[in-house]
Amino acid sequence: FAPNPTSGAVRLSGLTEAEVLVVLDQMGREVAKTAVDAGQQAVEFDLPNGVYFLGTEKRTSLQKLVIRH
C-alpha cells in the first residue's frame, strides 16, 4: 500500500481476491475494518493522527501505517 504517511487514503495493489482489511492501534485494538474486492485500488480510513498497523483479517502480517492530516 502507499502512500505512507497518509491523510487516510491508501492505494492498494496486488489484491487477487476479496479481503477484509483491519487497522489496529499500537495496543493491538481494532480501530477500523473494511471489506475490499479483488483488484480494488484504494480505500479511505477516517482515523486521527497516529501510528497504526494495517493487515488482513487473518492478521498473518501487518504493516505500519502512519496517519498524518
All 3 cell numbers of residue 50? 497516529
All 3 cell numbers of residue 59? 492478521
The DSSP code sequence of 2-66 is B-SSBSSEEE-----S-EEEEEE-TTS-EEEEEEE-TT--EEE----SEEEEEEETT-S-EEEEE
pLDDT one-digit tens code per residue, 26-58: 999 999 999 999 999 999 999 999 999 999 988
Calpha distance 48→62 (Å, rounded): 19
Residue 61: is its pLDDT beyond 90? no
Lowest mean pLDDT across 7-11, 34-38, 59-63: 59-63
DSSP label at residue 67:
E
